[in-house]
Chain A
Amino acid sequence: MPKPVILSEQYTEKIEGILDELRAKTRASYVFLADISGQLINARGATQSTDIAALAALTASNMAATAEMARRIGEQAQFRLMFHEGAGSNIYLSQVGHSFLLAVVFAAEVQIGLVRLFSKRAVEELEKLAAEYENVVEQTPSMMEAGFGGAFDDALDALLPTAKTKPGAPIIIR
């Protein structure tokens, strides 16, 4: 299993601080940080109506695809940023170190120059924060309450119950 990424409360607050500042300065609709495997780390702003987990997965795959494009046109490193422009909404993606990406989703009225400038600053701060990461993990206390394992199994069994249908019995999917 891959090495887990464990984010302490203080560490998360630092990430949120950087994301909040980026969002305020660019007047973006929302901003988020994800890792290159597609896991959403943190999102700030008006994300309620958006399926942000799916969006994080898509942005990560987009980054991965363009990394391959970069390689094929002879770039030594990956592309550092990507910009997709729509009629009403835009998305600006920046690479953060080798393992993360920062996304800014903003309306057409927002100036791209602002997004570009403040994304660059946020990336620098996030990269500095990433460099501190190893020290933070050591300080995290246990967060698991007694009885978690049993309660988890019960919740899982309730969500994914054993099928009562016999083999061969049709189940209508849609």
Chain B
Amino acid sequence: MFINWKQREIKLKIVYYGASLCGKTTNLEFLHASIPSHARSDLVSLKTREDRTIFFDFLEIQLGEIKGLKPKFSLYTVPGQVYYIASRKLVLQGADGVVFVVDSAPERRDANVEAWDNLHANLREFGFDPKTFPIIVQFNKRDLPDALPLNDLRQMIHCNGHLNVEAVASQGIGVFESLRPTIKSVMVEAQRHL
């Protein structure tokens, strides 16, 4: 979190975390396409030739001036593929909140668990308690015919205590609904410093 008193800016960082191909970049693409250009930056994507995220995607959104303050939010995705695991930690550095994207496909069960455990390990390494860190869990791809039931997904990653949102990010469903509470929860924390 950065607070600049002269420019009256508050800058917060939110990271979309999750297994490969779970829909993190899709969330950012929908936000980029839906938010008016004056309220957002360009979408920066560092992708491989196969269109996979190699380092991160980046999008900044701004709410304009509110009571003399200018809150800005930097949104990042981490690469989902396990062989870019070191990049995930680098991108997570300095994060104020996380949207954890879960793939509802049954065959992605292990990948979801791996990413969730990896998020926890990295947060602990940065000195945070994953139980109290602002994490919103987005259950994505709810339109899959064989999507796992919500209760199974919840038990799979033991995400009690974190807000859950159902989504079909490719259709924009649940994208705003995941980001909004994440921003609100990081702002609650930020306001303690204002």
Q: Name A residues whose Cβ lies closer than 8 Å to a Cβ of B.
A: 1-2, 4-9, 12-13, 35-42, 51, 53-54, 57-58, 61, 64-65, 68, 140, 142-145, 147-149, 151-153, 155-157, 159-163, 165, 167-171, 173-174
Contact = CB atoms under 8 A, between A and B. Distances in A.
Contacts of B164: none
Interface of B: 1-8, 11, 13, 29-30, 33, 35, 39, 41-42, 44, 46, 55-56, 58, 60-61, 63-64, 66-69, 71-72, 74, 76, 86, 90-91, 93-97, 126, 128, 133-134, 142-143, 168, 170-177, 179-180, 183-184, 186-187, 189-191, 193-194
Contacts of A7: 2-6
A65 B55 CA distance: 10
B179 A37 contact: no
Nearest to A140: B5
Contact of A161 (B46, B168, B173, B176): B176
Contacts of A40: 11
Contacts of B183: 156, 160
B41 A54 contact: yes
A66 to B, nearest CB: 12
Contacts of B143: 167-168
Contacts of B76: 38, 57
A144 B42 CA distance: 29
Nearest to A152: B66
20 contacts: A1-B1, A5-B3, A7-B4, A13-B6, A37-B13, A39-B13, A39-B74, A41-B2, A53-B41, A57-B74, A57-B76, A61-B55, A140-B5, A156-B184, A159-B39, A160-B183, A170-B171, A171-B172, A173-B30, A173-B170
Given A38-B94, A160-B179, A173 B29 contact: yes
A98 B114 CA distance: 31
